Amino acid sequence: MLQPLADITVTEKQEIFLEVKINKPGQTPVWTFEKKDISSSKHIQLTSQGTVHRLVIETAHLDDEGVYKVAFGDVKSSANVFVDGEKRFVL
């Protein structure tokens, strides 16, 4: 693996962006969140271009916090995603 996933901290409603680079193109990633398989949806975008694979959540919610993993057969990487509550100012 050329570039594994990295831990990230975002504020609620910000973008979550995870990227991994592998050695060999044509590999199919399996993404998981808290040990459950995930796939592209309105909330989560999974993309692959050559050796670069990305997971993007445009608007982070508190329940997006947790451990994300990607696997290419025996090659695996994981990242902790932390979502801080949105700052609210009271005047």
pTM attached to this predicted model: 0.91
Domains of the chain: 8-84 (2.60.40.10)
The whole-number pLDDT of residue 42 equals 95
> Given a cut of 80, is residue 70 above it in pLDDT?
yes
Q: What is the pLDDT of residues 18-57, one digit of tens each?
A: 999 999 998 999 999 999 999 999 999 999 999 999 999 9
DSSP codes of every residue in the chain = --B----EEEETTSPEEEEEE-SSTTPPPEEEETTEE----SS-EEEEETTEEEEEESS--GGG-EEEEEEETTEEEEEEEEEEPPP----
Q: Which is higher by pLDDT, 8 or 25?
A: 8
